[in-house]
Amino acid sequence: MLNSKKKDKLSQNGLLLDAKMIYFSNFAKLAMQKLQDAIVRSNCVLFAEIDMQFHDNEEFIKFVEKWTERYQLTLSPKERFKQKKKGHPTFDLIIKPNLVGDDDFTKDLIEIAKNHPEQFAHSDFDFLNNSQSYLAMKFYLFCNIDSPQIYDGLIPIDQVNTTLKQYIDGVEKFSYVFDAPIQLGNYELVRLTQKRSVKDDLEGREKNASDWTWRIGSESYSRVQKQGEVLINRWNQCIEKSEEEKQAYFEKHLKILESYYGFRGVRKQVGTLWAKERKVFKAKYGEKYLPYYRPLKLSYVQRLKSGLEANAEPLEMIDHMKTAIKNTVQKR
C-alpha cells in the first residue's frame, strides 16, 4: 500500500509527478542538486537565469508572488499533469541567494545579529534593507514542454521564445541547457557522453548514452591547473629544504583539489589532473620524490535535505535566511 504522500505524487497512469515547483536554498551544494534534478528528473531543457537584487523584503515578496502567478508555480500534481498532456508548459523555479561569509551584505547582517540580537529577531525587521549593500540572488527558471523535439533541441530557440510570448505575458527569454551551460560559482552543469556499452550495441543505439553532472568551470580549472604547473616547476628549489617543508610543499594545492564538490564530473576532472601532474612530477624529478605528491582523498556528494520545504512562502524564505545568519553568529 502507498502512503498518502506517495499517492499524491502518482498520476492515474503511474507517472511520477512532483508538485514542488519552487525551491529556495542558501547552500550552493543543495541548489546544485536541485538544478541537476530539474533536468534529469523533470526533463526541463529550457531555462532562464536571472540575477536580482531587492531593496527590501516587500520588493522580494512581490516579485516572487508575481512569478508564482505568471508561471503557475503552485499547481497541484493533477493540474500539472493536465497542463503537460494538453501541450502547455510547466515551470520550476530555484532561488539561490548569495548569502556567503565574505560578501558585504552578509557581513553587515552578521554584525547586526551579533550586536543587536533583539532588533534582528523582531518580526518587523527588514532583512533585505539593513545593509548599504544589496543581497544578490540567482533565479533559475525552468520550462518543460512535453515534446521529443524540444527534449532533443530540434526546434530553434528563437521559435520557442516567440511562441511562449504569445501565451504568457512578460515571459522570460529561455535557452537550451545544452547550448548555454548553467553556472553556479566555480561550477557548470554539463551533459557528458558515456563510454559505449554492451547495451548500446545490443539495442542498436546510434549515439552513446549521456548524463548530466557538474564539473569545474574553465576559469577555475585553468587557475588550479596553472598552480600545479608552477609548483612542479619550482620543486627543485625545495629539494634542499627540511623534511617538514617538503611534506608541506604540495599540501595547499592538494587540499584545494580535495575541496571541490564531489559530483561525478568534478571527481573525474580532479582525478585526471592529479594523475597528469603526478606523471609530470615523476618525469622531471624521478620516483624518489613521488611520496611528497600524495594520493587524493576525494569525497562524494551525498543526497542533501533542505531545511526549508518546497513551495515555501516568500516570507518563509526570508526567515530561512535570517536563521542562517543567526546560526553563523552562534558558531563563532
Number of domains in the chain: 2
Residue 100 grid coordinates: 556567503
Q: Which residue has the cell 529561455?
A: 174
Range of the domain at 176: 4-185+307-331
Please tell me whether residues 105 and 232 are part of one structural domain: no
In this prediction the pTM is 0.86
Instruction: Give the three-state DSSP class for 219.
Output: helix
Query: pLDDT tens digits for 122-144?
Result: 999 999 999 999 999 999 999 99
CB 274 within 8 A of CB 298: no
User: Residue 121 pLDDT > 80, yes or no?
Assistant: yes
Q: How many residues does the chain have?
A: 332
In this structure, the answer to whether residues 228 and 282 fall within a common structural domain is: yes
Segment 164-220, tens digit of pLDDT: 999 999 999 999 999 988 999 999 999 987 776 777 777 777 666 678 999 999 999
Mind listing the pLDDT tens digit for each residue in 270-304? Answer: 999 999 999 999 999 999 999 999 999 999 999 99
DSSP letters for 154-168:
-S-HHHHHHHHHHHS
C-alpha cell at 133: 549593500
Indicate if 107 and 243 belong to the same structural domain. Answer: no
- pLDDT tops 60 at residue 15: no
150 within a domain of the structure (yes/no): yes
- The whole-angstrom distance between residue 187's C-alpha and the CA centroid of its chain comes to 8
- By C-alpha distance, which of 84, 80, 94 is closest to 36? 94
Contact at 8 Å (CB) between 257 and 296?
Answer: yes
Residues 277 and 315 in one domain: no
8 A C-beta contact, residue 33 and residue 94:
no
